[in-house]
A and B are shown apart, each in its own frame.
Chain A
Amino acid sequence: MHQDWIWGLVGGGLIGLAGAVYLLGNGRIMGASGIIGGLVDGTGRDTLWERLAFLAGVIVLPVLLTPLYAQQIATNITDNWLVIVVAGLLVGVGARIANGCTSGHGVCGISRFSLRGIVATVFYILAGGLAVALFRHVLGVI
């Protein structure tokens, strides 16, 4: 759709506002992988409830907004289970080893001109672009 970019900008603004509230309010960097990962490996035990509250908001708002949309909402994720499992493992491992993902390194890092955030973003976009080129156009798996 031609107005996709407007919704992208609006949604992006909300994401930036979310990061601003988390930073200015709680004094923490809003990174999805950090917030979830701290629950998995136990490093976030002392901030358990604010992590759970954040994730509750992330899950519930789309539930509330879905009825406002006329068209069917879908992730259109592949039905190739092997691809889903491998991709999930890589996303989980990679984001935690790199200490950040699209929200932490991308949004919060680039906005303060963090070199680590910029370098991470360049590498994961290049790797993602190569993965799509290889697995879609060469191998035809996705």
Chain B
Amino acid sequence: MRILLALLSGSLFGAGLFVSGMTDTTKVQGWLDVFGDWDPTLAFVMGGAILPMMVAWHLTRGRSPLAGGTFPALPKPEFDRRLIVGSVLFGVGWGLAGLCPGPAVASLSYGGTGGLVFMAAMLVGMGAAPTLAARLDRFESPA
């Protein structure tokens, strides 16, 4: 059941990334390029995705997940160094290549060697993240 629902969700996600044009790096960089030929498509994708999710969050109230268990405990609204530094690093990479993790996976079948190299580098980065995050925490704590 959990596996089938995950497959359904992944299929919808892959189809959405594909038809929205978000696996085209020029559209993503076009959205970020406010000093150039600005492309508003990404805003429509975000808006289109946020609306059904707002309904979904509303429906979680007083219910349990279909496949059992409980809904995830939500983190406290704390803005630590990890959130800010991580988001800035992510944003710079996102701007440089025009790819983020979802579209990188969705475009694997047609992204060519460049897509595969990006994916490999991304996996290495993800592997290194726990160590770097721990170092960031140490840096934060007073000596």
Say whether B142 faces chain A, with CB atoms less than 8 Å apart. no
Chain A contact-residue range equals 35 or more
Chain B residues near A9: list those with CB within 8 A. 44-45, 47-48
Partner of A91, one of B56, B64, B93: B93
**A40-79: which have CB < 8 Å to B?**
40-41, 47, 49-51, 53-63, 65-66, 73-79
Report 10 cross-chain contacts, Cβ distance below 8 Å, ordered by A residue. Answer: A21-B9, A50-B2, A59-B109, A62-B109, A75-B103, A77-B115, A93-B128, A107-B49, A120-B86, A126-B91
Chain A residues near B114: list those with CB within 8 A. 75, 77-79, 81, 84
**Min distance, Cβ A15 to any Cβ of chain B, angstroms:** 4
In the complex, are the beta carbons of A14 and B99 less than 8 A apart?
no
A11-B18, A16-B48 are known contacts; what are 4 more A-B pairs with Cβ within 8 Å? Answer: A13-B49, A16-B51, A20-B52, A77-B99
A-contact bits for B126-141, CB 8 A (1 contact / 0 none): 1111101100100000
Partner of B7, one of A56, A83, A89, A97: A56
Give the interface of A toward B (CB within 8 A): 4-30, 32-33, 36-37, 40-41, 47, 49-51, 53-63, 65-66, 73-79, 81, 83-99, 101-103, 105-108, 110-112, 114-116, 119-121, 123-133, 135-137, 142
Report the bound CA distance from A120 to B87 in whole Å.
6
Partner of A27, one of B39, B69, B118, B133: B69
Partner of A61, one of B14, B94, B112: B14
Report the bound CA distance from A4 to B19 in whole Å.
10
